[in-house]
Amino acid sequence: MQFGIIGSGSWATALAKILTDNGNTIHWWVRNSDTIRYMEKRRHNPHYLSAVYFNPLQLRLSDDIQKVVSQSEALVIAVPSAYVENAIQQLPAGALKGKKIISAVKGILPGENQLLNDYLAMHFQVALSDYFAVLGPCHAEEVASEKLSYLTFSGMDEAITATIASHFKTEYLNTMVNNDIWGVQYAAVLKNIYALGAGIAHGLEYGDNFLSVYIANAANEMVGFLRKVSDAQHASVNYAASVYLGDLLVTCYSLYSRNRTFGNMIGKGYSVKSAELELNMVAEGYNASKCIHKTNEQAKASMPIAATIFEILWEHLPAAEGFKKIEGFLE
Q: Consecutive sets of 10 residues in the chain, 331 residues long: mean pLDDT of each?
A: 96 97 96 95 95 96 96 96 92 94 95 95 96 94 94 95 96 95 95 97 97 98 92 69 95 93 96 88 89 94 97 97 97 90
CB 278 within 8 A of CB 270: yes
pLDDT score for 232: 44
pLDDT score for 165: 97
Domains of the chain: 3-179 (3.40.50.720), 182-329 (1.10.1040.10)
Q: What is the SS3 assignment for 29?
A: strand
pLDDT score for 135: 95
Residues 102-113 as b or e (16 or more Cβ within 10 Å = b)? bbbbbbbbbeee
Q: What is the largest CA-CA distance in the chain?
A: 58
User: How far from 267 is each of 260, 263, 272, CA to CA, in Å?
Assistant: 10, 6, 10
pLDDT score for 229: 87
Closest Cα to residue 143, out of 208, 78, 83, 195?
78
pLDDT score for 234: 56
- Residue 75: strand pairing partners: 4, 101
CB 247 within 8 A of CB 215: no
pLDDT score for 235: 56
pLDDT score for 279: 83
Residues 239-256 as b or e (16 or more Cβ within 10 Å = b)? bebbbbbbbbbbbbbbee
pLDDT score for 231: 60
Global pTM reads 0.93
Peptide bond just before 80 cis, omega within 30 deg? no
